Amino acid sequence: DLSTGIIYRRRIATCQNVIPEILRKNSSVSQVSVLKVPDIYLEEESWLNMQKRNMAMKTHCLTWTQYASLSEESVFRESLENPNWTDFTQKGRISVTGAGLLNCVLEAFAQSFLKQGVKK
């Protein structure tokens, strides 16, 4: 947007399915068979404001929407302490429904996996 200087991007990301194979193999449970997909698709939107030196991002999962909801919001901005540093804030939400007893197992796995990514 030339009037505001904000660069908006919307894209689809393809990620490798990281659900453990033991959970994907159990085809006797109909809900679990949807976990067998090789890839997971995410939609990401970002707003880059070069004038204010910040960027906001929102991501949500497009795969398994009938069983799970995963969303994340991140903000990158110039640090008040030092303009050469970046302050990074991130919030996320994970919810699994419709997978019976596996709901809490899948939520715990997703939470653990995402926390490892945040530490990186």
Higher pLDDT, 2 or 80: 80
Question: Which position has the token pair 């008040």?
Answer: 80
Q: Is the pLDDT of residue 13 over 70?
A: yes
116 vs 2 pLDDT, higher one: 2
How far apart are alpha carbons 93 and 69 in whole angstroms? Answer: 8
pLDDT for res 76: 96
Grade residue 32 by pLDDT with cuts at 50, 70 and 90: low
The pLDDT confidence band at residue 78, using thresholds 50, 70 and 90, is very high
pLDDT for residue 81: 95
- Across the range 81-90, mean pLDDT stands at 93
Mean model confidence pLDDT for the chain: 80
What percent of the chain stands above pLDDT 70?
Answer: 76
Rg, C-alpha atoms of the chain: 18
User: In the prediction, which pLDDT does 113 show?
Assistant: 66
Q: Is the pLDDT of residue 30 over 60?
A: no
Q: pTM, whole model, 2 decimals?
A: 0.70
Q: Are the C-beta atoms of residues 31 and 102 closer than 8 Å to each other?
A: yes
Q: Are 73 and 45 in contact (CB under 8 A)?
A: no
Residue showing tokens 């890839």: 39
* Residue 30, burial from CB neighbour count under 10 angstroms (0-12, 13-18, 19+): exposed
